[in-house]
Amino acid sequence: MLIVIQCIDKVGLVAAISGLMEKEKINIISMREHVDTTENLFFARLELLPAPKTDPQMLYLALQQILPVDALIKINPNPQKKIVVLVTKEYHCLGDILLRHQFKTLGATVQAVVGNHLVLHDICSKFNVPFHYVSHENKTKEDFEAELLQTIHQYPLDYLVLAKFMRILSPSFVAQFTHNIINIHHSFLPAFIGANPYKQAYERGVKIIGATAHFVTNALDEGPIIVQQVAPINHSYSVTDMVRTGKEIEKNTLAKALQMVLEDRVFVYNNKTVVFE
């Protein structure tokens, strides 16, 4: 059993939660908690071994009685999430997702891949994952996104994953998936936002490059950060070398972010995250 909690902080919450579990004869396997003292917010993730007759609904009501009003409580979130992946032409992040999906280590089912180019159709066919081609050419942004949404909504999904989807989504599109769109950005944000970050980094003469996985909001590349990773470089690296190294970081960063999100280890608040690794 898994429980995640987010609420206003007050003295005694950990003791109250632990006491309730003892009363219900539920063994706590793992409990992670964090308090943001500035915002006075409490976050907790519990892995539990329930008693044979544990009723999740009754446990939810009991938690409501001991937690502050308006506490966000989830008991047993769907353990097998469903995702739809949006792509353009680059294969490295999608390939990693499809491999993990094939060998059941992703923690989610890839419902479909949607691309605005046909380049990645064949790799999806090899993994027996549906691929939908939705071109953006000769269309208004509104018409393109309407067609995207029509395609996406054919499938039940928990998260939309932008695996190098090189299009900026409109606020109206993003609003339909609040904190449910995960993007991999080829830069260590907030540095070098937008296009051509490796060229920007090369011209700046940086000594590290990185990648950032974050939730998408209406502010370009400024959504809540989930995972960031970096790699050292030096003066001998060309832009091509940086891109090659960067692709490995991007793939690994997105994989780590998906693991954290799909295992319900990420809490979002005030454009920030708490991540229980």
Domain boundaries in the chain?
2-75, 81-275
Q: What superfamily does domain 2-75 belong to in CATH?
A: ACT domain (3.30.70.260)
- Over 70: is that where the pLDDT of 85 sits? yes
- Over 60: is that where the pLDDT of 189 sits? no
Cα 134 from Cα 147, distance rounded (Å): 7
Neighbouring C-beta atoms of residue 11, cutoff 10 Å: 7
Q: What is the mean pLDDT of residues 81-100?
A: 97
- Report the Cα–Cα distance between both ends of the chain, in Å, rounded: 18
- Over 80: is that where the pLDDT of 194 sits? no
Of 107-121, 184-198, 201-215, 239-253, which has the strongest mean pLDDT? 107-121
- Over 90: is that where the pLDDT of 78 sits? no
Task: Write down the pLDDT at residue 193.
Answer: 66
Taking all residues of the chain, what is their mean pLDDT, rounded to a whole number?
Answer: 93
Cα 82 from Cα 262, distance rounded (Å): 9
Give the length of the chain: 277
pTM: 0.91
Given 158, 221, 241, 264, which residue is catalytic?
221
Question: Any catalytic annotation for residue 221?
Answer: yes
CATH 3.40.50.170 fits 81-275, yes or no: yes
Residue 250 tokens read as 């991007």
Which tops the pLDDT comparison, 243 or 63? 63
Task: Write down the pLDDT at residue 202.
Answer: 79
From residue 64, how far is each of 41, 77, 166, 211 by CA, in Å? Answer: 16, 17, 43, 39
**What's the maximum distance between 2 C-alpha atoms anywhere in the chain?**
64
From residue 153, how far is each of 107, 137, 147, 160 by CA, in Å? Answer: 21, 21, 10, 11
